[in-house]
Amino acid sequence: MRQQQENLHTQHIDWPTLLIYTIFVLAGWINIYAAVYEPEHSSIFDITQNYGKQMIWIGVSAFIALMIMLIDDKFFYAFSYMSYGIMIVLNIAVMFLSKEVKGAHAWFEIGSFRLQPAEFAKFATALTLARFMSHYDFSLKDKKHWYKVAGIILLPMGIILAQNDTGSALVYCSFVFVLYREGLPGWILFICLALGIISVLALVMNPATLIYILIGVGAIAVFLLRASKQGMIVVACVVLFCVGLVKGIDYLFYKLQPHQQQRVNVLLGKEVDLKGAGYNVHQSKIAIGSGGLLGKGFLEGTQTKFNFVPEQSTDFIFCTVGEEYGFLGSSVLIILFVVLFIRLIAIAERQRNRFNKIYGYCVASILFFHFTINIGMTIGVLPVIGIPLPFFSYGGSSLISFTILLFILLRLDASRVFQLRGSIY
């Protein structure tokens, strides 16, 4: 029976996802090699270099992935709250036990290796959220449940914010997609997205122009919807709220210190300060833009190879892809990611219990958020928020944590046939 079950794990493992994962990890390794390539360390296996170290992380990840596949699937459900607790403790501890690196207290130093607990908090939070929300009487309509869900998400988020690692903290926003899938009304998601967009626009555009546009949009909405009196009032209220929001953001912006204002402007691409704050994005765009249709070829990327792009093996790894493989290579990467997301949603949807399904959505949302922010940043459409590109970016903590995140899902998915619908635990 046990033998049979184990065979079934491998039989039921989702091969397309595993294939994409393998492609990403190997492509990432090669791109890290290209990004930090120096002729005197020309071996990709040289472990004094980032690419050599990444090779070790890939090995460790493979081992962990194998372990996960061998563990009983019930373990993750059982382990979820405990992992959450451990991660909360570790993330608090790191603030007191670590040295400051780039302004953040986020790294444990063990010998020459560094460990970032915030990375591992993601899967723990995902497991916990899945377990809590899969409870048979769970409902988002229940205020108590609402608060608990919010608490589960906001606690690690707050702690990580306190570590001064804004990027990793923002990742927790991705759970809004999970909540939406699990009963959060569509209009809340819509308002969240709309508020985000209007806030960005308020800073980018002339406020007066934006207000006219909002009023115009409101008028068109009233006309198109042939709104009743009530509807018109609703539209008017929405427009009024938006105008207030724009005015408020504008006011707050001018309350900022000049250097902060400049920083915001640069992040939004409004002001081009190529030597200072805007340097990263500008260089990143140059590297990607100069790749052209087909790219410059492996190790031929001058911008990345000669260190014009900062953080090029970690947060800006996509520059190497863009420069050396051109639009063709970048498109393949983008499309593969989108395929992965579609696959992950499909996996989540085919689960027979809510724990697996919610966890699946957590994985898809977290990866999607990372992908969006990271690529958006390198191509200059989103502010510079330093988070890694899943599976590609150099870094043991992030690669291992994404591996754990993904393989727990694959493990759960592999044994879905043995599970009953709904919550069996």
Partner 1 sequence: MIDSSTKKITLYIIFISVGFIFLLRLFWLQVVDDTYVRFAQNNVLNEEVVYPARGLVYDRDGKLLVYNDAIYDLMVVPERLKKLDTAGFCEVLGITRDDFDKRFERIKKSKGYSKYRAVIFEKQLTIPVYAAFQEKLYDFTGFYVQTRTDRKYVYKSAAHVMGYIGEVTDKIIEQSKGYYRMGDYFGVNGIERSYENELRGTRGIKYVLVDVHNRAQGRYKNGLFDTASVAGLNVTTTLDHDLQEYGEKLIANKRGSIVAIEPSTGEILAIVSFPTYDPNLFIGRERGNNYMKLLRDPMKPLFNRPIAAPYPPGSIFKIIMSLVGQQEGVLNPNTTYGCARGASFGSVHVGCHPHPSPLPLRPGIAVSCNAYFCSVYRSVIDNRRYPTTEAAFDQWRKHVLSFGLGQRLGIDLPGEGPGNLPTSAYYSKIYGQGHWKASTTISLGIGQGELGITPLQMANVTAILANRGYYITPHIVKAIAGKKLNNPIFTEKHFTTVDTSYYGVVIDAMQDVVERGTATIARLKNIVVCGKTGTAQNPHGKDHSVFFAFAPRENPKIAIAVVIENAGFGATYAAPIASLMIEQYLTDTITRPWMEERLVNTDLIHQPATNETTTGKPAHTTH
Please identify, among the stretches 59-67, 83-91, 179-187, 200-208, the one whose residues bind partner 1 according to the rule CB under 8 A.
Answer: 179-187
Task: Please identify which residue in 26, 188, 252, 335 interacts with partner 1, judged by CB under 8 A.
Answer: 335
Query: Counting contacts by CB under 8 A, is residue 334 touching partner 1?
Result: yes
Q: Does 409 bind partner 1 (CB under 8 A)?
A: no
Does the footprint of partner 1 cover residue 37 (CB under 8 A)? no
Q: What does the block give as tokens for 389?
A: 């590109």
Contacting residue, 195, 225, 240, 381, with partner 1 by CB under 8 A? 381
Q: Which of 288, 358, 377, 399 binds partner 1 (CB under 8 A)?
A: 288
How many CB atoms are located within 10 Å of the residue 170 CB? 16
Asked if 338 touches partner 1 (CB under 8 A), the answer is yes
**Rounded Cα–Cα distance for residues 35 and 83 (Å):** 35
* 372 scored as a contact of partner 1 (CB under 8 A): yes
Query: By CB under 8 A, which span of 135-143, 195-203, 341-349, 405-413 interacts with partner 1?
Result: 341-349
Task: Return the number of the residue (104 or 288) whose C-beta is nearest partner 1.
Answer: 288
Per CB under 8 A, the list member of 342, 417, 418, 422 interacting with partner 1 is: 342
Q: Considering the rule CB under 8 A, would residue 141 count as an interface residue with partner 1? A: no
Q: Least distance in Å: CB of 315 to partner 1? A: 16
Judged by CB under 8 A, the number of residues near partner 1 is 45
Binders in 290-309 for partner 1, by CB under 8 A: 290-293, 302-303, 305-308
Contact 49, 412 (CB under 8 A): no
Q: According to the 3-state scheme, what is the secondary structure of the chain?
A: CHHHHHHHHHHHCCHHHHHHHHHHHHHHHHHHHHHCCCHHHCCCCCCCCHHHHHHHHHHHHHHHHHHHHHCCCHHHHHHHHHHHHHHHHHHHHHHHHCCCECCECCCEEECCEEECHHHHHHHHHHHHHHHHHCCCCCCCCCHHHHHHHHHHHHHHHHHHHHCCCHHHHHHHHHHHHHHHHCCCCHHHHHHHHHHHHHHHHHHHCCHHHHHHHHHHHHHHHHHHHCCCHHHHHHHHHHHHHHHHHHHHHHHHHHHCCHHHHHHHHHHCCCCCCCCCCCHHHHHHHHHHHCCCCCCCCCCCCHHHHCCCCCCCCCCCHHHHHHHHHHHHHHHHHHHHHHHHHHHHHHHHHCCCCHHHHHHHHHHHHHHHHHHHHHHHHHCCCCCCCCCCCCCCCCCHHHHHHHHHHHHHHHHHHHCHHHCCCCCCC
Among 286, 299, 385, 424, binds partner 1 (CB under 8 A): 286
Beta carbon nearer to partner 1, 322 or 388:
322
User: Residue 349, interface with partner 1 (CB under 8 A)?
Assistant: yes
Pick one of 21, 57, 180, 394: the residue that binds partner 1 (CB under 8 A): 180
Contact with partner 1 (CB under 8 A): which of 156, 278, 322, 395? Answer: 322
Closest CB 219 distance from partner 1, rounded Å: 26
Residue 313: CB minimum distance to partner 1, A: 15
327: contact with partner 1 by CB under 8 A: yes
- Draw the binding track, 245-284, toward partner 1 (x: CB under 8 A; -: no contact): ------------------------------x------xx-
Binding of partner 1 by 375 (CB under 8 A)? yes
Query: Which stretch, 61-69, 230-238, 248-256, 372-380, contacts partner 1 (CB under 8 A)?
Result: 372-380
Of 101, 99, 81, 100, the closest CA to residue 89 belongs to 81
CB of 126 to partner 1, least distance (A): 16
Examine residue 197 and tell whether it contacts partner 1 (CB under 8 A). Answer: no
Kindly give, in sequence order, each residue whose CB lies less than 8 Å from that of residue 168, ignoring residues fewer than 6 positions away: 106, 116, 118, 119, 160, 387
Residues forming contacts to partner 1 in the complex (CB under 8 A) are: 177, 180-181, 186, 189, 275, 282-283, 285-293, 302-303, 305-308, 322, 326-327, 330-331, 334-335, 337-338, 341-342, 345, 349, 364, 368, 371-372, 375-376, 379-381
